[in-house]
Structure 1
């Protein structure tokens, strides 16, 4: 698959390196041409302008700060028409109400993926890869406590969701569909909550039992 990655930070590097190693053609576009060239050389990809990376791609990964999205979409929203657009962003802010010394976060925006879809209405926006830090995607560990690490995916276009699922599989991850794009806001909220727990030294995985022990009974 031809993948255009917009951004040259840690998430762009982690996912781009994995996809390039899996045999995909990767082009990096960023506001800094030097940063794009450096990352492309590092991951065995190719550098391009943002517009050229989008034009080249079948799938576009938006790996930029949320604060950069308005300018990016204003300039290139129309260019994304017909593309699979993977949104891995999170709109985190420090939680100023947290006690001193306690790391915690809140969302500065409740539905980033939906805003991207509104700004680029002809694109096929898919939310994925936002729950974990880039360092996890860059690592080699994929199985924890006997269970393969999963990637929930939200999107309205079934074909696009399937393409992103295959890209997750190419990184040795277990994809699962988590509903339409309107549910992406729950992925964003889950990320801000669990990351805050991890930063606080708490094991977010301990909140939930394995599937074999999970149950729910409807109220009578």
Structure 2
């Protein structure tokens, strides 16, 4: 699969390198073309195969079957505006967070990205620190990390599920794109707890202790 990544920061590095290892091709982009080229070279060195290259925002947006938005929330409009129409109708992974102090429940980032691009947005990978995505694989106490996905398009969801499994993680159906606002709010809440030194995972019981459920 060819994956265009908008952004050349930590999330681009962590996720992109893992996907290169899984046999995918990646194009990264950033505000600084020199830094983007350096990031691509670093990803290739880490992965041990030449699966990454650098390009402009528009080139990365048009590069492959899937694109990923991995830029700061405050820069979204400018970056997405620079892609022109390249993201229209394309599966688009949104990994962004506004941060615990800047989260606005009235302005979900996933919906903003969908409105600005016309892409088929899937919210994913926004609940964990970048170092988690560098793990090979992310497994805790013998349990693979689960990654909730929120989106409306079946094809886009199918592709993102594949990319989740390539990390050694388990994709979870989180509902439609309207539910991405709840996923963003969850990130803002638990990241705030982590920043405060609390074990956010301890606020929820395991499935066996969470009450009666319908058979899966």
Distance 1:216 1:139 in 2: 33
1:140 and 2:140 are equivalent in the alignment? no
For 1:77 and 1:124, how far apart are their aligned partners in 2?
16
State the 1:139 CA deviation: 2.3
Q: Distance in 1 between matches of 2:129 and 2:145?
A: 13
- Once the two structures are superposed, the pairs formed by residues 170-209 of structure 1 within 5 Å of their partners are 170-209=166-205
Structure 1: 5+ residue stretches without partners: 95-105
After superposition, what is the alpha-carbon deviation per residue over 1:90-143, rounded to whole angstroms, capped at 9, x for unaligned?
Answer: 01153xxxxxxxxxxx5146410001111122x111100001111111123522
Structure-2 separation of matches of 1:81 and 1:6: 15
- Partner residue of 1:162? 158
Q: Which residue of 1 aligns with 2:78?
A: 71
Name the residue aligned to 1:119: 116
TM-score, reference length from structure 2: 0.90
Query: Segments of 4+ in structure 1 off by > 3 A?
Result: none
Give structure 2 stretches of 5+ with no counterpart. 45-51
Match for residue 81 of structure 1 among 88, 99, 102: 88
- Alpha-carbon RMSD across the aligned residues, in angstroms, is 1.5
Cα distance in 2 between the residues matched to 1:93 and 1:201: 14
Quote how far apart the aligned CAs of 1:76 are. 2.0
1:13-92 correspondence to structure 2 within 5 Å: 13-44=13-44, 45-92=52-99
Output one character per residue of 1:33-69: Cα deviation in whole Å (capped at 9) or x when no partner: 0111011001121111111111111111111001111
State the SS of the aligned residue for 1:56: coil
Contact 2:73 2:97 in 1 (8 A): yes
SS at match of 1:27: strand
Mapped pair 1:214 → 2:210: yes
Deviation of residue 73 (structure 1)?
A: 2.1
Asked if the contact 1:57/1:83 (under 8 Å) is kept, the reply is no
Q: Would the aligned equivalents of 1:93 and 1:108 in 2 still touch at CA under 8 Å? A: no
Contact 1:77–1:119 (CA under 8 A) maintained in structure 2: no
Distance 1:76 1:55 in 2: 8
Paired residues for 1:3-22 under 5 Å: 3-22=3-22
